[in-house]
Structure 1
Amino acid sequence: MEWLGLHVLADLPATGQTVLDCRHNPYLVVLAYLVVCTGSFATLHMLERVASTEQPTAQRQWRLLGTCCLAGSIWAMHYISMLAFEATVEVHYDVALTATSLLLMLLAAWLAMNVLSRPTWQTRHYLLGATYIGLGIGAMHYTGMAAMRSNALQYYRPELLLGSVLIAFASSLVSLLLAKRFRHGHGTVHQLLKYGAALVMAGGIITTHFTGMWALTLVLPNGVPLRLPMTDNSLQLSLSIAFITLLISASSISAALADKKLQSKEHDLRRVNMLLSQLDQARVSLQQAAHYDALTNLINRRGFNQVFAERLAEQSSNEGMLAVMFLDIDHFKRINDSLGHDAGDQLLKVIAGHIKAATRPQDVVARFGGDEFCILISLHSRDEARHLAQRVMHKLKEPIDLGGRRMVMTTSIGISVFPDDGSSCDELLKNADLALYQSKGCGRNNLNFFSSNLKTRATLELQLEEELRLALLEDCGLRLHYQPIFDLHSGQVSKLEALIRWQHPQHGLLSPDRFIGIAEVNGLIADLDLWVLRHACQDLALLNRHGFSDLRVTVNCSALTLGREELATEVEHALSAAGLPAWRLELEVTENALMGNIHSTISLLKRIRATGVSLSIDDFGTGYSSLAYLKRLPLDTLKIDRSFIQDIPRSSQDMEIVQAIMIMAHTLHLKVITEGVETVEQYAFLSEHGCDAIQGYLLSRPVPLGELRTVLAELNQREERLMAYSDTAQSGSPDLFADAPGYRASASAAPPGR
């Protein structure tokens, strides 16, 4: 078979002269290998640039440059190798076929670059790219051989011809497999793989050429004269082709390296910009977290203080006015305790929205934490602050749907005004807090402006708190006074109520109403109750040694103390330390204390009563207990509050109420004690209607332990006179108790006791 003058499948002719004296210039062969190595290395660089760039225009440019490097280096290798071919015949080349061979190689290289420019390579991409390169090398080689013109005919051994094409395919495939490893890598291993792939590809290409040359046999037909080459310019021509090709490859490699470095810098710059952007976002997030409340998106205390300082400086220079409002949601803790903290958070979001809706755009609304909010407003008169506070209170009273319930919340508000109530942020906030404290103390759902007497009272309360804490710590200054409880059936004093007093070094003897509230607010009430319990048991033990072996002592127990699980153990320790049996002690609790947590309270009281300690309910009728719970409580005694006694016998309504309470208590098998008895008329009424015991100034004021034995002796000696009073009361004998230690003919108010 003959193709373009090449005899591929034809046998050698029987006649003719085979040209055997053929050899290659080794220097030009080395030059050809160097050219193809450089071109292969440049091509692999172009593939790397195509894979690393994201711009379509740049990808097309690198593909085109890679095509030129690959096709140009292979074509240059071929013709430098052909120029290295030295035969004993005159050889020249057809220009058209030579150009065609270059175009064929360019086409194959372009197709291969397109296939290998994909982001990811699969098996078919390797095979297709290697096929394009292998066929391109073969087509270029044999088209270039066909361009060779001489008197001799070209005969090819078909197995070697096919082997040359397979070598081109295999070397291309191996090179592409190596190229996969370094497409996205860097470092020493990356460069070594790239060099190795270039050497393998170049070796396969030049091996393809010389395998094809091995398959070639030149036959000079008979009768054709042998023409020897006249001139030999192969060296100059080879060097020119090599120089041009190496220049193109080197320029391409330089461009690729420069682009890689530039891209690396751009990547670093993008990374720096990204890090800067992330830092900006982190800074904004930190600023948001530092100055804004995550739950309500209102500014927090730190953000509020910053804005407050700016507004304060502005108003100071303009001689304007500012108002600070402290808001506290009334009884918000009940929401968290009953519905859970998630429901409480949802409620806070709604409340925050209501507060924002009630304020003006220029007003600053902040959440300080929990259910505390603060509003900062500019104003011209105090009435503006009052109207805004009233608008907020009205807005918060709108029903809120929460967990299937419609809830109505109220708020207490305290207001301080700049410059009247202070000149600094801290002072104004503190004064607004004091005004809020007054609003809560006035029954909540109220608003109050700061006044100077609030500061004076707060200063005094702080001083009293510190001194009370010290008094408890050092066990000095606190005193117990005892008020007798007179049993109407036995005519004897049966109990003593322990009432605490504080002998203050500056303010003298303080009654409980001056410091009990301070103790409750500041967490001292449990220690105070425990102090009373221990000292009352010790004092009773002392009285026991002086012959008062039947007396009991009654100790008041606050709501906070009643919520402590340790109370039962503390009662046992106090009795044990004093050496008293449990029946000598009675704990006295109020209705409100009982109702705070009724289920746990009942359980605790049952534990205490199981030890033998008696229990009584104090101030009955003034709280909100129900009879349903009253019958479940393990009580022994019921105390009627003095508010029902003080108008007897003038008030028939109070007399009926007291009779009803006594009937109900006796029905529940409870003994009845009436406190606040101050007149003989009250005594006569209670005695007549079945009251079990009385307590009040008619018998005695609360007295210290040192005076108690005298009072007890005098009261117990009047048994006959007391029992006979019911017969003489109608004769108008008001002097019957004239010599009693605490007797007063008038029913003046007695100070509260504990």
Structure 2
Amino acid sequence: MDWFEWQFLGKHVEHSQQILHSSHNLYLVLIAWLVACAASLATLQMVERACNAEKTTAKTLWRWLGASCLAGGIWAMHFISMLAFESSIEVHYNLVITIGSLLIMWVSALLAMYLLNQPSLSRARMMLAALIFGLGIGGMHYSGMSAMHTYSHQQYDPIGVALSLVLAVGGSYWALLMAIALRSTQGVVHQLFKYAISCTAGTAILSVHFIGMWALHSFSPLDAGSQAYIETNHWQLALMVAVITLLLIGSSISAALVDKKLQQKEQDLARVNALLSQLDEARMFLQQVAHYDPLTNLINRRGFNQIFAEKLADATANNNKLAVLFLDIDHFKRINDSLGHDAGDELLQNIASLIRGTARGHEDVVARFGGDEFCILIDIHQRDEAQNMAKRIMHTLKDPIELAGRRMVMTTSIGISVFPDDGTTPTELLKQADLALYQSKGNGRNSLNFFSRNLTTRASLELQIEEELRHALTEDTGLVLYYQPIVDLKHGRVAKLEALVRWEHPEHGLLCPDRFINIAETNGLIAQLDHWVLRKACTDLATLSRLGWQQLGIAVNCSALNLVREELADEIESALYTSDIAPHRLELEVTENALMGNISNTSQLLRQIRALGVSLSIDDFGTGYSSLAYLKRLPLNTLKIDRSFIQDIQTSSQDMEIVQAIIVMAHTLQLQVVTEGVETTEQLELLRHYGCDFIQGYLISRPVELDALPRVLEQLNTSHRFTSSYSALQIQ
């Protein structure tokens, strides 16, 4: 069988040829092995670069460079190994066939690089690739062997040839598997694994060559005689080829390492840029959160203050005017309590949209400060412009708003301050607008007010009263109780007393509740004040009991804010226990609106108090919005008619009919009736005629202190003016 002028073993013995013996230079063999290992290492580096490259051009470049390193390294290994061959015959090489062997190796290497760059490779395709690459190695080797020209005859052992090809294909398959497995390793393990694969692959490639050489047998003619080994300088050529090949491979590896570092730097730079981009987005988000209200998308207080400071500086420089409009939605809490917070949020969004639509584009600054508070900053020339803006807002909000299947009509209270008339700093102007808003709410809401200097004086006075009231409650000084008798018309005697708190102010003298109760409610002191009144009233009732007034009861007012406190029942029980007063002698008075403000929680708390044995009275009846359906379910004992229905009862038929209807209704519900504000005998007779149970007012007695109370009670109980008319009526 002939192929490139070499034959398998056949009939050489017939011609009496003798086998020529040969050997190899071990140093050149070692150099050849190093070249093969370096080529394998370079190939792995190129594969890694090609896989990690982002551009198609770069992938192709690294793939071709890797194929060149692999082909050049294996071919150089083969060439050096051939130069390491030492025999007694002179050897010449065919340049064309030698270059052809390099081309075979390069095509096979390019195919291997292409396959290694695939993200996934099936086992069948991997075996096909190993077969092609292995045959390429074998083809390169045996075509290179055929380039040897000598006077001897060369024949091959088929077993050796087959073994070399099997090793080439098997080694190729193993190298493909290891190169793919290398992708899953990192760090030091990755590098060690890479070196191990390179050394093993270099050894396998070198082994293919020498198994092929082992399969080669050279025969010389019998008449050629015996020849000694020919000394050559092949080691110099081999060393030059090795150096050139290693330099090229080393340059390629260096380029790959440099590219890897550059890519890592690019990736690091990309990560830094991505991080900077994320930081910018986070900064913008934080700025949005820090300066904008997430519910309405209006700027918040912080953003408003920043813009306010800038516009204030411009207004100061240009001698312009600014107006601050502080808005508060009237009775907004009822929406949250009745329809829920989701409905309240939806309402706030609608209101914010309406206010923004009323504003004059980007000229006006609209902000939400939190809750139902809004603020608008506008440029003005005259104060009337701010008033007109406020009126437009109030008119716009009166349009019905669809909410939770209902048509809601909201109103707003507005306070206005003007720069530079009312202040020169954002803090000062906002404070003045807030004071004006407070006045609008105090005037019945749904109104607007400009700031005036007397509001500052009033606010300062209220702050002073708050501080001094807090001190009076803490130190238990200055506060006193006055008592107004309540007469039982049926028996003509004082049945109970109403405890009325007063304050002996060191500067302003004796203050009535209307001077400090609202301040106590606004500043969280009402619970402490009510508790003080409760304990003091029970203590004074115990004192009166010791003086002989054991049947006398006492009525104590309870604030609406105190009715939501679960501790109230325990405080009442503690006050009764400490003073040793029977529970039925204590009556708790609550206003009509306080009862209806939160009927579910109120009714539960009232039942707890009623379970203690304490009587319950509804105060100022007729001035609120109570429902008879709820009223009959509450555990009440007494109903107190407000004084406003009594003042003109002699001349007003409407008041007369209202009072009569209330008394009849109360008796129907098994409630006793107390009428306050009785000042004339005519009022007394009418109330007695209508069947009123109890009366109180200046006709009976003004409120008096505890020290004067026994004398007043004695006089009232010995007087016959409350019994004679009743007896006369009975006789008639």
Partner secondary structure for residue 719 of structure 1: coil
Partner secondary structure for residue 14 of structure 2: coil
Q: Give the deviation of 1:725 after TM superposition.
A: 8.4
Q: Give the deviation of 1:141 after TM superposition.
A: 0.7
* Aligned-pair Cα RMSD in Å: 2.3
Kept after mapping to 1: 8 A contact 2:161/2:212: yes
Counterpart in 1 of 2:326? 326
Note closer, same or farther for the CA distance 1:661–1:40 as it changes in structure 2 (3 Å cut): closer
The aligned amino acid for 1:628 is A
Q: Give the deviation of 1:517 after TM superposition.
A: 0.9
Is 1:273 matched up with 2:285? Answer: no
**Separation of aligned partners in 1, 2:610 and 2:458:** 41
What is the count of residue pairs matched by the alignment? 728
**Separation of aligned partners in 2, 1:253 and 1:272:** 28
Counterpart in 2 of 1:30? 30
Is 1:313 matched up with 2:313? Answer: yes
Kept after mapping to 2: 8 A contact 1:647/1:654: yes
Deviations 1:290-324 (A, max 9, x none): 22222222222212111111111111111111111
Q: Give the deviation of 1:227 after TM superposition.
A: 8.9
Equivalent runs, 1:442-591 vs 2, <5 Å: 442-591=443-592
Note closer, same or farther for the CA distance 1:160–1:396 as it changes in structure 2 (3 Å cut): farther
**Separation of aligned partners in 2, 1:393 and 1:185:** 72
**Separation of aligned partners in 1, 2:314 and 2:352:** 27
Counterpart in 1 of 2:198? 198
- 304-313 or 557-566, larger mean C-alpha shift: 557-566
**Separation of aligned partners in 1, 2:712 and 2:11:** 152
Partner secondary structure for residue 571 of structure 1: helix
Counterpart in 2 of 1:237? 237
The aligned amino acid for 1:649 is Q
Identity %: 62
Equivalent runs, 1:328-347 vs 2, <5 Å: 328-347=328-347
Partner secondary structure for residue 679 of structure 2: coil
**Separation of aligned partners in 2, 1:340 and 1:519:** 28
- 496-505 or 71-80, larger mean C-alpha shift: 71-80
Counterpart in 2 of 1:743? none
Q: Give the deviation of 1:126 after TM superposition.
A: 4.5
Partner secondary structure for residue 509 of structure 1: strand
The aligned amino acid for 1:215 is A
Q: Give the deviation of 1:349 after TM superposition.
A: 2.5
Kept after mapping to 1: 8 A contact 2:490/2:726: no
Kept after mapping to 2: 8 A contact 1:176/1:197: no
**Separation of aligned partners in 1, 2:371 and 2:692:** 49
Counterpart in 2 of 1:162? 162
Is 1:613 matched up with 2:606? Answer: no
Q: Give the deviation of 1:138 after TM superposition.
A: 0.1
The aligned amino acid for 1:486 is V
Partner secondary structure for residue 699 of structure 2: coil
Q: Give the deviation of 1:454 after TM superposition.
A: 1.3
**Separation of aligned partners in 2, 1:684 and 1:403:** 52
**Separation of aligned partners in 2, 1:331 and 1:124:** 80
Is 1:285 matched up with 2:279? Answer: no
Is 1:598 matched up with 2:599? Answer: yes
Counterpart in 1 of 2:68? 68
Partner secondary structure for residue 707 of structure 2: helix
Partner secondary structure for residue 683 of structure 1: helix
Counterpart in 2 of 1:46? 46
Kept after mapping to 2: 8 A contact 1:163/1:211: yes
Q: Give the deviation of 1:555 after TM superposition.
A: 1.1
**Separation of aligned partners in 1, 2:396 and 2:226:** 118
Partner secondary structure for residue 586 of structure 1: strand
**Separation of aligned partners in 2, 1:125 and 1:332:** 75
The aligned amino acid for 2:326 is F
Q: Give the deviation of 1:547 after TM superposition.
A: 2.1
- 413-422 or 629-638, larger mean C-alpha shift: 629-638
Equivalent runs, 1:390-469 vs 2, <5 Å: 390-469=391-470
The aligned amino acid for 1:434 is L
Note closer, same or farther for the CA distance 1:616–1:108 as it changes in structure 2 (3 Å cut): same
Note closer, same or farther for the CA distance 1:494–1:200 as it changes in structure 2 (3 Å cut): same
- 527-536 or 107-116, larger mean C-alpha shift: 527-536
Partner secondary structure for residue 624 of structure 1: coil
Kept after mapping to 2: 8 A contact 1:590/1:618: yes
Partner secondary structure for residue 336 of structure 1: helix
**Separation of aligned partners in 2, 1:353 and 1:551:** 60
Deviations 1:242-287 (A, max 9, x none): 2332222122122112212222222222222222222222222222
- 644-653 or 217-226, larger mean C-alpha shift: 217-226
Q: Give the deviation of 1:594 after TM superposition.
A: 1.2
Q: Give the deviation of 1:222 after TM superposition.
A: 6.4
Kept after mapping to 1: 8 A contact 2:43/2:66: yes
Kept after mapping to 1: 8 A contact 2:491/2:723: no
Note closer, same or farther for the CA distance 1:128–1:376 as it changes in structure 2 (3 Å cut): farther
Note closer, same or farther for the CA distance 1:247–1:569 as it changes in structure 2 (3 Å cut): closer
Q: Give the deviation of 1:129 after TM superposition.
A: 4.2
Q: Give the deviation of 1:233 after TM superposition.
A: 4.5
Kept after mapping to 1: 8 A contact 2:688/2:726: no
Kept after mapping to 1: 8 A contact 2:650/2:656: yes
Where structure 2 has 5 or more consecutive residues not aligned to the other structure, the ranges are none
TM-score by length of 1: 0.92
Counterpart in 2 of 1:377? 378
Note closer, same or farther for the CA distance 1:609–1:244 as it changes in structure 2 (3 Å cut): closer
Q: Give the deviation of 1:670 after TM superposition.
A: 2.1
Kept after mapping to 2: 8 A contact 1:19/1:219: yes
Kept after mapping to 1: 8 A contact 2:88/2:230: no
**Separation of aligned partners in 1, 2:537 and 2:264:** 86
Kept after mapping to 1: 8 A contact 2:18/2:222: no
Is 1:651 matched up with 2:652? Answer: yes
Kept after mapping to 1: 8 A contact 2:538/2:576: yes
**Separation of aligned partners in 2, 1:721 and 1:224:** 166
Kept after mapping to 1: 8 A contact 2:89/2:230: no
- 193-202 or 86-95, larger mean C-alpha shift: 86-95
Kept after mapping to 1: 8 A contact 2:116/2:179: no
Note closer, same or farther for the CA distance 1:337–1:660 as it changes in structure 2 (3 Å cut): closer
Q: Give the deviation of 1:687 after TM superposition.
A: 2.2
Kept after mapping to 2: 8 A contact 1:90/1:229: no
TM-score by length of 2: 0.94
Is 1:86 matched up with 2:86? Answer: yes
Q: Give the deviation of 1:726 after TM superposition.
A: 8.6
Kept after mapping to 2: 8 A contact 1:71/1:106: yes
Q: Give the deviation of 1:663 after TM superposition.
A: 2.0
Note closer, same or farther for the CA distance 1:136–1:720 as it changes in structure 2 (3 Å cut): closer
